[in-house]
Amino acid sequence: MATSNTPVVIKVGGALLENPAIAAQLLTEIKALMATRSVILVHGGGAMVDTLLGAMQLTSTKIDGLRVTPDEHMPVVSGALAGTANKMLCGLAIGAGVTPVGISLLDGGLTQCTVLNEKYGAVGIPSPGSSALLDHLLASGCLPVISSIGSNADGRLLNVNADQAATVIAELTGGDLLLLSNVEGVLDGDKVLIHALDEARLKDEVNKGVIKDGMLVKVEAAMQAATQLSKPVTIASWSQSLAAILTNQTGTRVIPAAQISGE
């Protein structure tokens, strides 16, 4: 387990909000963890975006698995992510006895974003900016709750992939990154949890057809994040104990190539 001055950056998907009991339990565990370590919560909310777009009779399409986000959709996307999802998580934090501050990637110069490709519309790629706002919030004992809405230098609002958002926040703060969802980690062909996954093991499991589809996307994002951060990234279930995850008792640690010899 890392030293207490290393923040824990926890990324959750919007699906967490579909199970309020598990979400409340996670926030209770975050409160306990905050007694010894700073915590930053980064979230997505794709399902909530889809629901709201549908209610507004707006059609959402994808290219290469990425959501095309026209600028005219951004008020709805921002409302779902930086509004509803963010404030629901903040409310759960308050209920757990935590003091949250709901912000986005664009606040306080946390990140700078550039447009990925105009064919995707207002979709951004983030890079680290200033940690000053986060430093202040963490020093004050608050829980930053960060939505994946960013902007470019001209103030154009951009929709950012939540895994990338969490990675850039971990990069900015030197934090340990946990990617939490409704799966316990990466399973092998016998449905047994893989505790440590390096590039060679990943290629082997992909070639055998074990890691595929949505899990492949998740693992590749984790591997990219681990490489970018030069430290392992953990994929685990949000219903598991944070203490167990942080002490490597559960979940899958995705190990970048540079770290293999040191594991």
**Measured on CA atoms in the order 124, 130, 136, 139, is the torsion positive or negative?**
positive
Q: Do the annotations mark residue 45 as ligand-binding? A: yes
Q: For residue 219, give the 3-state DSSP assignment.
A: helix
DSSP calls for 30-97:
HHHHTTTS-EEEEE--HHHHHHHHHHTT----EETTEEPB-GGGHHHHHIIIIIIIHHHHHHHHHHTT
Q: Which two tokens stand for residue 230?
A: 């030069």
How far, rounded to the nearest angstrom, does the alpha carbon of residue 43 sit from its chain's CA centroid? 5
User: How far apart (Å, rounded) are the C-alpha atoms in residues 223 and 10?
Assistant: 16
Residue 26's H or E segment, with its range, is helix 20-33
At residue 166, φ and ψ (nearest 5 deg) are -65, -40
In the prediction, which pLDDT does 259 show?
53
Q: Do the annotations mark residue 129 as ligand-binding? A: no
Residue 47's H or E segment, with its range, is helix 46-55
- The DSSP bridge pattern shows strands 66-67 and 62-63 to be antiparallel
Q: What integer best gives the mean pLDDT of the chain?
A: 92
Structural domains of the chain in order of their starting residue, each with its CATH number: 1-180 (3.40.1160.10), 183-263 (no CATH)
In the prediction, which pLDDT does 261 show?
44
Q: Do the annotations mark residue 37 as ligand-binding? A: no
User: Which amino acids are annotated catalytic?
Assistant: 11, 14, 46, 163, 218
Average pLDDT per block of 10 residues along the chain, 263 residues long: 74 91 96 96 91 89 83 95 96 97 98 96 96 97 98 97 93 95 91 94 93 85 89 94 94 81 45
In the prediction, which pLDDT does 119 show?
94
User: How far apart (Å, rounded) are the C-alpha atoms in residues 145 and 229?
Assistant: 21
In the prediction, which pLDDT does 42 show?
98
In the prediction, which pLDDT does 3 show?
43
In the prediction, which pLDDT does 2 show?
42
